[in-house]
Amino acid sequence: MDGAYVATELQGLLKLRSVPFCMKIFEKVEDMEAVPRIGRPEHVHTLDHLVGQTSRLSWTIGVTADNLVGAPCRALVGLIRPTSRCSMPHPAP
């Protein structure tokens, strides 16, 4: 499958304002680091900051749980098991 073609088609059909991106979970850090041109954060970030970099700058970023701020960011992408301690807050009614 041609990822660039699929992304272009999605943007046109859905009138997206940002470039589609995907996430992949690797079992081993070494496998993730083998991806060509992968970048690694030098500091701790929130997940939405890394998603923004990926989407807006067309970067390929590899992260581990150590790169993400707090349990909610880690649990959201499956890097840790969610618990009541790291559950996401619900908006007020």
d(CA 36, CA 93): 45
Contact 72, 79 (CB under 8 A): no
51-77 pLDDT per residue, tens: 888 877 878 888 888 888 888 888 888
Task: Please list, residue by residue across 67-88, b when 16 or more beta carbons sit within 10 angstroms of its beta carbon and e when fewer do.
Answer: bbeebbbbbeeebeeeeeeeee
pTM: 0.61
11-28 pLDDT per residue, tens: 888 887 776 777 788 889
